[in-house]
Amino acid sequence: MSEPLRGFEDGAYTGTVRDHVEERQPSTADWRSTLRAKGYRLTPQRELVLRAVERLGHATPDEVLTAVREESQAVNISTVYRTLELLEELGLVRHAHITDRAPTYHSTTAPEHVHLVCRGCGAVTEVGPDVIATTTDALHGRYGFHTDVGHLTIFGSCRACTARTERTDREGGMRD
């Protein structure tokens, strides 16, 4: 079971992964040992990409490239994509589809979480796996299905957008 995310209220966290990875950020030695154990070495490019993902919290490959280029102009987008793919295979990063564009990557040092994405304002709220445990338990019990919570994104409307829509509907209804 993963640990709860710091800053949660009612099981939801509206900060960023960056808020929790600072206290759990692995050292270069940790990355090096993970890579070596699987037959790889920690190249300067891999280290730059890993540090960028850690620093950014959630980031698309383009955002990772921008962060990496702050330190080195020698890295291109294809290197970032290949590196992210390898790092995901090795379990050092994960991705989720938070938008309809490129996947968003985050470090596996962050606690496992589900993304709630508001279609109205685009806000992303992170919730712990316990919030959807009833659903994942039902999927397992009924279908033998194990849910990969780290990739799960649920789209809908946040509290503020729902309230705004309800208020607009009420005000519109009063005018009739």
> What digits encode the pLDDT tens for the residues 65-101?
999 999 999 999 999 999 999 999 998 999 988 887 8
Q: What angle do CA 11, 17, 18 make, to 5 degrees?
A: 140
Query: CA-CA distance, 18 to 110, in Å (whole number)?
Result: 8
Q: Would you say residue 99 lies in a domain?
A: yes
Domain boundary among 109, 132, 159: 109
Residues 92 and 146 in one domain: no
Burial class for 70, CB neighbours closer than 10 Å (0-12, 13-18, 19+): exposed
Contact 172, 137 (CB under 8 A): no
Nearest to 92 by CA among 50, 40, 47: 50
Across the chain, mean pLDDT equals 81
pLDDT of residue 11: 41
Which CATH number do you get for residue 35? 1.10.10.10
Domain boundary among 109, 142, 163: 109
pTM: 0.69
Contact 144, 96 (CB under 8 A): no
Domain boundary among 77, 109, 141: 109
Q: Would you say residue 1 lies in a domain?
A: no
Q: Would you say residue 54 lies in a domain?
A: yes
Which CATH number do you get for residue 162? 3.30.1490.190
pLDDT digits (tens, 9 = 90+) for 13-71: 444 333 333 344 556 668 888 888 888 988 999 999 999 998 998 899 999 999 999 99
pLDDT digits (tens, 9 = 90+) for 157-174: 999 999 998 888 878 755
Residues 105 and 116 in one domain: no
Query: CA-CA distance, 46 to 111, in Å (whole number)?
Result: 22
**What is the domain range of residue 155?**
7-15+111-176
At 131 the three-state DSSP class reads: helix
Nearest to 146 by CA among 157, 154, 155, 135: 135
Residue 141 has pLDDT above 60, yes or no: yes
Contact 48, 71 (CB under 8 A): yes
Residues 73 and 93 in one domain: yes
Residues 62 and 132 in one domain: no
Residues 74 and 131 in one domain: no
Residues 90 and 30 in one domain: yes
Residues 74 and 84 in one domain: yes
Residues 115 and 168 in one domain: yes
Based on the structure, what is the number of domains in the chain? 2
Nearest to 46 by CA among 96, 73, 104, 86: 86
Residue 8 has pLDDT above 50, yes or no: no
Q: Would you say residue 2 lies in a domain?
A: no
Query: CA-CA distance, 84 to 82, in Å (whole number)?
Result: 6
Residues 119 and 142 in one domain: yes
Burial class for 141, CB neighbours closer than 10 Å (0-12, 13-18, 19+): exposed
